[in-house]
Amino acid sequence: MYLRDRLVAVGKDPARFPLALATMYLYISEDRAELRSVWDLVRSPAATSADLRDRLLIGTADECVGRLRRLEAAGISEIFVWPLRDEVAQLGLFVEEVAGRLA
């Protein structure tokens, strides 16, 4: 409510204000062993593996598309991704195999 109230106070339409998620780890692969090694980089004693799987873009292209669609349904209109390895290749995969399926 704070953000909505502040937007109204300065004459902005809250419905047009983008909601963004920053920063979301990214790693796309069809190789399950490779994905497990990436998950090892982000494991946390404070969160279960299931919690992390729902919150990060680490998985197959299909899994990443599904996660992004759920975020979109929740009102998120922008995300900032952070590739965990092979940054240029991962960004290319994201554009080619994930982002294009969301438009």
Q: Where are the domains of the chain?
A: 18-101
Q: By C-alpha distance, which of 29, 27, 31 is closest to 42?
A: 27
Confidence (pLDDT) at 16? 86
pTM: 0.79
| Integer Cα distance of 16 and 8 in angstroms | 11
pLDDT at residue 67, rounded to an integer = 93
- Token pair 């004459």 in the structure block, residue: 11
- The terminus-to-terminus CA distance of the chain in angstroms comes to 29
Q: What angle do CA 97, 98, 103 make, to 5 degrees?
A: 115
Over residues 26-82, the pLDDT tens digits come to 999 999 999 999 988 888 777 777 777 778 899 999 999 999 999 988 888 889 999
